[in-house]
A and B are shown apart, each in its own frame.
Chain A
Amino acid sequence: MSPHVDLTRVRPGDTLPEVAETIERLDLIRYAGASGDFNPIHWSDEIARAVGLPGVIAHGMYSMAVAARMVTGWAGDPAAVKRLKVRFSAMIEPGQTLTAKGEVAEVDGSRVLVRFHAEDEKGEKVLNKGEAELEL
């Protein structure tokens, strides 16, 4: 396990270790099965194109889960996460790499607010305005 954050040293502006994941079609099929989200735009190019998409796109919740890994990996404890929020701002297709980036925005006693986003290889934000409230 990676070393976790030391509360006494958390300061606004601290950056979280990035998490990057190259998204394969199999990841989306596996996520569909695990989550129960079988929306065909995540596994059928034909149906995705019929509704005006370029082809299969990743579940927004898959991208959010990857970003949440960054937060829990840094905090070391899923129980520390009291609130987690994102806006889905762009699509990401299989074959692309998603990178989650975050930094400490506020520290108030044991409460910490992390702001984060996740971007594709071109730097376009796939997840935007991410917020994680933690009790460390």
Chain B
Amino acid sequence: MALNQALVGKSYPAVRYEVGREKLREFAVAIGETDPIYHDEAAARAAGHPDLPAVPTFAVVLSLRAGQVVYGDPELGLDYSRVVHGEQEFVHHRPIRAGDRLLAAGKVAAASAKGPHELLTLETEITTEAGEPVCTVRATLLSRGTAPPRRSGT
């Protein structure tokens, strides 16, 4: 099934996310990050962080939560088992750290056909509950083999 390109620009309700220390440690372990600043609060503080910092790609956790809201939109027509990741970008306005109470709102930023495949860009804006910008996440997904057949003259 082809993606519904009419949804480009559509914004979705934000999901709430509270950043826990154990989750940050779990994520750091999962990516093989052993630097004590990601695991030990005293080491983090000694390095100038108010609490455990997140590794720079941790924001993908929030982006995925926000993405589930977007991908779950039946109007979008995305089959997640056909998806491979094309590009990923994080713009960090300030580091994510333990104790943050965040909001992550997804938006369909772009959708287009590329040969037999389709490209979908999800943009997630992460802010604190008070509205402070934290991170902008852009994920471009490749939906394999879902492009509609091309008609001549279009």
Contacts and interface: CB of A to CB of B under 8 A. Distances in A.
Nearest to B93: A82
B55 A72 contact: yes
Contact of B65 (A34, A36, A71): A36
Given A60-B84, A65-B57, A34 B30 contact: yes
- Chain A binding site: helix, strand, loop or mixed by DSSP? helix
B61 A60 contact: no
B56 A72 contact: yes
Interface string B19-58: 0000100110111110111100000000111000111110
A31 B28 CA distance: 10
B152 interface: no
Interface residues of A, number: 41
Nearest to B36: A1
A126 to B, nearest CB: 11
Nearest to A81: B56
B139 to A, nearest CB: 9
Contact of B92 (A52, A60, A83, A91): A83
Interface of B: 23, 26-27, 29-33, 35-38, 47-49, 53-57, 60-61, 64-65, 80-92, 94-95, 144-145
Interface of A: 1, 21, 27, 30-31, 33-37, 39-41, 47, 50-52, 59-62, 64-66, 68-69, 71-73, 77-79, 81-88, 91
